[in-house]
Amino acid sequence: MNTENTTRAERRQNRKGKRRPVVAIVLATLAIGGIGAAATSAAWTDNVFFSASAQAATFNLVGSLDGSTNWVESDNQSSIALTIPSSTFANMLPGQTRTATVYVKNTGTTNASLIVSTAWASGSTFVDAPTVTASAASSTLTAASGATPQTAITVTVTAPSNWATTNQGKSGSIVVTVAGTATA
């Protein structure tokens, strides 16, 4: 048994001797890898962050018959809220021209580009209707924070000088449209 124990002891010693270099190599590799990882994670880093608020502009046109009070939303053609007094264009005669002034105001936060147009509403009974034009004093309106966010619009109705007698007592309604487009 002694020889067996010695042989076993020798074998263990031999294995330990062989394991030591392997263990040493593994430990060295881990140590070098750890140092490399530590060197990599030691790099300096930094961040900078910014914040900003954003808000959409507003865009809104309102109208008035007098230009100083009673500014009204009149943005539905089927229920127009601003009506030029009927006496303005009543009892027109051949060759006669009459005008009315209305006003448009920009209450939004962006500038507006304007296009003004006119038309006779359906139901007009004129055989040959008078000519209707409308023109704005300015084709642009500054934002409400600007100095002059309103403009005058002149509506002109002219009956032909050779207006036929068949137009006597006839009538019609004029629709003035001010279309605005938001601009920078």
CA 115 to chain centre: 19
Residue 149's pLDDT is what?
86
- How many CA atoms are closer than 13 Å to the CA of 71, on its beta-carbon side? 13
- In angstroms, the Cα distances linking 83 to 5, 37, 176 are 122, 81, 10
Using the structure block, give the residue that is written with the tokens 């127009």.
Answer: 80
Q: The whole model's pTM is what?
A: 0.72
pLDDT value, residue 173: 96
| Torsion-angle region of 15 (φ positive above 0: left; ψ -120 to 50: alpha; else: beta) | alpha
pLDDT tens, N- to C-terminus, the chain (184 residues): 555 555 666 666 666 556 666 667 777 777 666 655 555 566 899 999 999 999 999 999 999 999 988 899 999 999 999 999 999 999 999 999 999 999 999 999 999 999 999 999 999 999 999 999 999 999 999 888 766 689 999 999 999 999 999 999 999 999 999 999 999 8
> Backbone phi, then psi, for 135, in 5-degree steps?
-140, 140
